[in-house]
Amino acid sequence: GKVSWPVSIPKTGLYAMEIEYCSASTKTNSIERMLYINDKVPFKEARYLNLTKTWEHDYDEETGRFELDATGSELRPVTEVVQKWSKYAIADAGTYYANPFEFYFEKGENTISLEGVREDIIISAIRLYPYEDLPSYADKLEEYAKKGYTEGTDVIHLDAELPAYVSEYTIYPIYDRTSAITEPQHATKIMRNTIGSEKWQTTGQWIEYNFHVENAGLYTINLRFKQSELSGLYVSRRLTIDGKVPFEECNYLRFDYNTDWQVGPLTDGGDHGGFLFYLEPGDHTLRLEVSLGDMGDIVRRVSESLSNINDSYLQIMKLTGADPDEYRDYGFERLMPNTIRTMLIESRNLYKVSDYITELCGSKGSQTATLDKVAFLLQRMGGDEDEIAPNLTNLKTYIGTLGTWLNSSKQQGVILDYIVASGMANRALCTQR
């Protein structure tokens, strides 16, 4: 079905869009809708909207943890859909772009339409508003200083395996025995003491926690985590507190690669140390959402390069067939100069991406090695037409390798042990301002 709403726009310009909705289904599928503005899909990234459901784990009422089996080991909790109102700012489902989309509307009467693709929902409101860029962390520090905010005194400890809500039923607590200090721990019984890894690695998935603050002040948020999935790279998360991203850098939180467990504050990898957050007394929510962060631009660029390289391969195949004769003069430069030029352009593009990743991460790794190999082959084939036919099979293999690289880079896995909000660290960051 398709539902349309008339909307009167007071002024021509760009508007962000927010939908307030509630799931009407308890099925495990996510909610999907197709967006139309004035009966047209505005652009391909906004064609399909993915709206998450809200799931809740069933904890034991007495212990606040999990049910036990006959041996005393903790069982996986039952997970059920919670039918509660949620707000969804229409944004890129692949998180190539961090902030909400902006749509162009002419002054006067317009229509917004949603077409059902999957699952039932109830919609209470659709809101259009002029999007304002988030403040930077530097701006926030100046605001803290002007308002005279001081360091908070609470120490708030959250067991990561006990979230209030999750976005999918597949995100559930797991157990870890790679470290003796992962809490809680038992020598013989299974203790579900962590959450994450492959259960929480796809863009758009989120975990949410509730916590209470007694004393207002500036707090750092520290995590014990392990990111051993992407060698030589980092994974990203987006942070929201009470439903809002506090400042721009919170779209690009960074968890660096290491085979060991790490403890550190939330940061985007900059030289400012851990971020400070001002928290008022009362109840709050903290949500960590899987995103590509800075990797979004990298993945998008490599994806575009892969598409162009594949097109070049198919053009060459039309001339040579699947089994080219390496001793034959096909006249590639004369017959398909644009294809040769494309290979050289994409070689340079992949080298630039490799250099950018090296700059971000501080060193080269297996991820950059893959890009360098493909870039070198393209440079070799594009620079000498005699190298095209003998290396066409290699190019086909490398196209598959590049596709695997893209898929692995999109898998943003990280494991969490605990989260601690405290006012005891990075005291000087605010006072310097």
pLDDT of residue 364: 78
- Beta carbons within 10 angstroms of residue 207's beta carbon: 24
Please report the pLDDT score of residue 362 as a whole number.
Answer: 75
Which residue type sits at 248? E
Q: What's the CA gap between 377 and 372, in Å, rounded?
A: 9
Q: Which of 146, 86, 122 is nearest to 285 (CA)?
A: 86
pLDDT at residue 433, as a whole number: 31
Q: So what's the pLDDT on residue 424?
A: 57
Considering only CA atoms, give the Rg of the chain: 25
Q: Residue 265: beta bridge partners?
A: 222
Q: Which amino acid is at 104?
A: Y
Which pLDDT value is given to residue 333?
87
**Cα–Cα distance measured from residue 109 to residue 7, given in angstroms and rounded to the nearest whole number:** 6
Q: How many CB atoms sit inside 10 A of residue 340's CB?
A: 22
Residues lower than pLDDT 50 in the chain? 426-433
User: In whole angstroms, how far apart are CA 83 and each of 52, 116, 120, 171?
Assistant: 12, 19, 12, 18
Are the C-beta atoms of 248 and 133 separated by less than 8 Å? yes
**Which residues are bridge partners to 291 per DSSP?**
236
* Whole-angstrom distance, CA of residue 389 vs CA of residue 379: 14
d(CA 163, CA 28): 19
